[in-house]
Amino acid sequence: MPILTDRDIEAVRKEFAKLANPVTLTVFSQELGSESCLHTERLVKEVAECSDKVSVNVLNLLLDRQQAEAYGVDRVPAIVVEGARDYGIRFFGLPSGYEFTNLIDAIIVASTGEPALSAETKDVLAGLGKPVHIRVFTTPT
């Protein structure tokens, strides 16, 4: 049974009209993965079906260890959102509820490469000399 309803698909398609360049969603899963891995894989595939600009790559955390390390992924399920480059956007766990909206937003901003931030914020970020790792903890609400 599909995860997305017809209404969801319609809403996602409408949002995806903003897509400019191709986006790749790399899902890390496990062969004997949890329900959450299976759900995440299915959800991402259904999202990708909403636009021909979005493609999916499914990898296995244990078998594709080199890629997992390169992406900094050490747990599953994980989704890497890549546009023209790897912008460093990761989702760990099934992105449901409000996080689903954020996943769609992440795909759009990775596609356009144009963050919705003030000019001042962009200037400050452009001057960052050190790595910044932001972890945002959420729950499925």
For other proteins, the binding residues (CB under 8 A) are 36, 72, 75, 81, 83, 85, 87-95, 99, 102, 105-106, 109-110, 113-118, 121-122, 124-126, 128-140
CA distance 40 to 121: 33
Q: Give me the least distance between CB of 6 and other proteins, in Å please.
A: 26
Q: Give me the least distance between CB of 124 and other proteins, in Å please.
A: 6
CA distance 131 to 35: 34
The DSSP call for residue 72 is T
CB of 49 or CB of 105, closer to other proteins: 105
CA distance 128 to 30: 36
For residue 127, the SS3 value is coil
Q: Give me the least distance between CB of 62 and other proteins, in Å please.
A: 18
CA distance 59 to 95: 18
CB of 2 or CB of 115, closer to other proteins: 115
CB of 5 or CB of 118, closer to other proteins: 118
